Amino acid sequence: MSIIHKTTLTPTKLELLTAWLPAQPWYAATGRAPELSKAGGFRLDDPKGDVGIEFMVVQDASGDRPAWYHVPMTYRAAPLDGADRALIGTTEHGVLGRRWVYDGPHDPVFVTQLLALLQGRAEPQAQSVSHTPDPSVTAEVTGAGSDVLAGAGPDVPAGAAEAPAVADGPDATRLVVAGGGP
């Protein structure tokens, strides 16, 4: 189970995301720096306890209308080999020291635990409270790919981190994650 430390992060997660988001191809550019606030999210546990896994929803108020982004992230005590392009940034954690923060879909631990969530083998955890399941978070997979996920084992195939988590179209697998308030 993840232990949530009540401590400082320098820079904060929102500061890291403020610098990182505008470089993403899916970011709705406003011509101004993002004005981010935390709007919700949840965590998943790494069974080995080495990697922090967080799904954060942020609101960007920099445009004429607010925009929301669902940003899955992982936190590691050392750099992830071969994942330089997925690095969101580094932060100093007041208890744990330096942490490397990654765009979650590029981290194999994230992909494995997301698959476990979709198969009902992982329990969503509260975003800011240790050892506390978050019953407001539900996961549902529908579409042509749902039968593939149902039979997939815990090992993630090579390249799975490159696939989008949400796709549209009649033959697409759709991931719906709901709940996880601020």
If pLDDT is split at 50, 70 and 90, which confidence band does 149 have?
low
Mean of pLDDT values over 126-143:
80
Q: Residue 95 has what pLDDT?
A: 62
Helices (H), ranges, the chain: 13-20, 108-118, 146-151
Cβ-contact 99, 93 below 8 angstroms: yes
If pLDDT is split at 50, 70 and 90, which confidence band does 172 have?
very low
What pLDDT digit, counting tens, does each position of 17-40 carry? 999 999 999 999 888 999 999 999
Distance CA 38, CA 61 (A): 11
pLDDT tops 60 at residue 60 = yes
Residue 139 lies in a domain: yes
Q: How far, CA to CA in Å, does 82 sit from each of 98, 106, 143?
A: 19, 10, 32
CA count, 13 A, side-chain hemisphere, 3: 7
pLDDT tops 60 at residue 168 = no
- From the number of C-beta atoms within 10 Å of its C-beta (0-12, 13-18, 19+), residue 70 rates as middle
If pLDDT is split at 50, 70 and 90, which confidence band does 171 have?
very low
Looking at the structure of the chain, the number of domains it has is: 1
Distance CA 93, CA 174 (A): 35
Residue 156 lies in a domain: yes
Domain that holds residue 154: 9-178
Residue 13 lies in a domain: yes
Residue 18 lies in a domain: yes
Mean of pLDDT values over 73-94:
93
**Looking at per-residue confidence, does 144 or 156 come out higher?**
144
How far is residue 137 CA from its own chain's centroid? 14
Residue 30 lies in a domain: yes
- Residue with tokens 């635990």, as numbered in its chain: 113
Residue 4 lies in a domain: no
Q: Average pLDDT, whole number, for the chain?
A: 80
Distance CA 3, CA 50 (A): 11
Q: What is the pTM of this model?
A: 0.79
Q: Cis link prior to 22 (omega < 30° from 0)?
A: no
**Looking at per-residue confidence, does 163 or 109 come out higher?**
109
Q: Residue 151 has what pLDDT?
A: 57
**Looking at per-residue confidence, does 63 or 161 come out higher?**
63
Mean of pLDDT values over 75-85:
95
Number of residues written out for the chain: 182
Low-confidence winner among 30-34, 116-120, 146-150, 167-171 (lowest mean pLDDT): 167-171
Residue 37 lies in a domain: yes
Residue 172 lies in a domain: yes
